[in-house]
Amino acid sequence: MSMYETSGKTRRDRFNLASLFAALRSPATSARRPLLSIGRKRYETLLVWGIGLVVAAGIVVISTAAHHRDIAATVIYLTLLLMAANIVSLRVVIGVSLFCMATIVVMFFVDRGYQDWDSLTSFVRCLTALSAIGFLAARAKQASDALRQNDIYMTGAQRLSLTGSVCFSGQNDEMAWSEESARIFEYPPDMPLSRAMILARTPYEDHGLIDEMFARAARREPQIEVAHRLLMADGRIKHIHMIAIPLHDQTDRFEYLGAVMDITEHKQAQETLYRTQAQLTHICRVTTLGELTASIAHEVNQPLTVINSSADACRRWLDRSAPDMHEALGALQRINESARRASDVIDRVRALSRKSDPVRRAEPLNGIVKDTLHVVQHEMSHHGIQARLALSPHDPWVSADRVQLQQVLINLMINACQAMAAVDKGRRILHVSSHVQDDEVILEVADGGPGIDPEVLPALFNPFFTTRASGLGMGLSICRSIIDFHEGRIWAVNTERGASFLFALPLLARGA
Ligand code: ADP
């Protein structure tokens, strides 16, 4: 049995003698004392004695003056009925009932009622009726206390969790809600709720979501979920998440019971986390670019060298007594092409260092891989590493932020280069391959390094996990958050050659 089932059972209000006496005990000693008190504890003892004395005095006066114990019983009935009207606590109800019974018993013996048959039967009748009424009054009181207690717990929990309840149907505009829902929407709690009131608090752009919610209720869908914003009178924006399921009853009515959650703080925390993550991703990207400065400088330098030598050659062809226009034009064309190559490199680096929010659009994965290899090419040849490409002939397209995906590839390729730094030159081969499997494209970066210790494999993508003396341990963690953002998966395995890092991204349908 689960914890919840157990607590549910104890909460059920069962009436028995043990609980009746427990209610009479001091509240401090009662094991089932509620967390939130609903009784009027301070004056209770006084009240028990006060009412008890008044009732006892009434019984004594009536029984001695009128010699009619039925009148005394009537007084007691009335008193107990009044108590059942829920104006006193359970302890008072039980206390007064016992007090009255004790008074009747005392009066019976003082009057020597046992000598007279009529008095004896009247006494028994009176005592039986009194116990029955006392029992019923105490039971009713206990049930209403339990209800009140539940209400307090429920309202408290709704308040603490910023979750209100709402009831609506798809057939008409009738709605009802709890106090907390009214508080979330910032309406007075006793104001009857309507669809117009919800729309009045919803920004115009989100009206469609509310209309859709009612349309789904009209179609009697098994579950309705909607997330929308609220625009308060002072311009504040709140974020609401509502989830509702149908409530079936015996009648024809078809209603939904929903939980309305104010998720504004959660949303703000999520946005802050998202911004911080984006900043960290950017810082790491720029740091990686810093590590690649030599490669980038080399890549820019190459076309600049060609431009220089072509310009010299051009001048020489033109300086001749009979200028060779054909050769000069050829040199000019080489200058043009090299300038374009240098500018391409600079554009790529600038895009990588730019700080902008990630935007996903349709991109060819193979194209991104080839572009990225350009950036790390020099780094690889500097370490004597050869790249082997085996890209999917299907030219898979993905919905991706190009710069972020390049960041993942650069991280994986540089890690692979570092892993192969200590192995024989012949084994320093980086395999980059892609293939389509079902509705995903899988990209693999495999190296010929020492592989990954199986013990650290589960922690590999955790932030700050590193085995390198100068490592920060953020590279793979950032790769994972980028791939998560792309709704993909990333993982690592050991192969017979070394380590292999793979990620899978949802395949984009052609023309999407
Ligand atoms: P860092 O490179 O700063 O250590 P990463 O998050 O990029 O941070 O990598 C975390 C750890 O994963 C590395 O310290 C290393 O132990 C392990 N690792 C990453 N790539 C490889 C690889 N290709 N081969 C073996 N171990 C690797």
Give the list of residues 6+ apart from residue 334 with CB closer than 8 angstroms, or none.
306, 307, 310
For residues 506 and 399, the answer to whether their CB atoms sit within 8 Å is: yes
Q: What is the pLDDT along the chain (512 residues), one digit of tens a residue?
A: 333 333 333 333 444 445 444 544 444 334 344 444 444 555 666 766 676 677 667 666 666 665 555 556 666 666 666 565 566 677 777 877 787 788 778 878 887 777 888 778 878 877 887 788 778 878 887 888 888 889 888 888 888 888 999 998 877 777 888 989 999 999 998 888 888 899 999 999 999 999 999 999 888 899 999 999 999 989 999 999 999 998 876 566 778 999 999 999 999 998 888 888 888 888 888 888 887 787 788 788 888 999 999 999 999 999 988 888 999 999 999 999 999 988 988 888 888 888 777 889 999 999 999 989 888 888 888 888 999 999 999 889 999 999 889 999 999 999 999 899 889 888 899 999 999 999 999 999 999 999 999 999 999 999 889 998 878 888 899 899 899 999 999 999 999 999 999 999 999 876 44
C-beta of 226 in contact with ligand 1 (< 6 A): no
Give the tens place of pLDDT for each residue, 419-439: 998 898 888 999 999 999 999
Residue with CA nearest ligand 1 atom 26: 452
3-state secondary structure of 28: helix
C-beta of 476 in contact with ligand 1 (< 6 A): yes
Which DSSP letter does residue 358 get?
-
Nearest to 187 by CA among 170, 262, 177, 161: 177
Calculate ∠ Cα 496-500-503, nearest 5°.
Answer: 145
What is the CA(379)–ligand 1 centre distance, in A? 17
Pocket perturbation via mutation, ligand 1, pick of 476, 477, 493 by most ligand atoms within 8 A of CB: 476
Residue with CA nearest ligand 1 atom 19: 415
d(C-alpha 95, C-alpha 201), whole Å: 52
C-beta of 414 in contact with ligand 1 (< 6 A): no
Residue with CA nearest ligand 1 atom 14: 466
C-beta of 475 in contact with ligand 1 (< 6 A): yes
- 481, 485, 489, 495 alpha-carbon torsion, rounded to 10°: -50
Kind of pairing between the strands at 397-400 and 386-390: unpaired
C-beta of 106 in contact with ligand 1 (< 6 A): no
C-beta of 472 in contact with ligand 1 (< 6 A): yes
- Estimate to the nearest angstrom the gap between the alpha carbon of 278 and the chain centroid: 20
What is the CA(505)–ligand 1 centre distance, in A? 22
Give the tens place of pLDDT for each residue, 259-313: 999 999 999 998 888 888 888 888 888 888 887 787 788 788 888 999 999 999 9
- Give burial (CB, 10 Å; 0-12/13-18/19+) of 332: middle
- The reply to whether the predicted model has a pTM over 0.75 is no
- Return the number of other C-beta atoms located less than 10 Å from residue 193's C-beta: 19
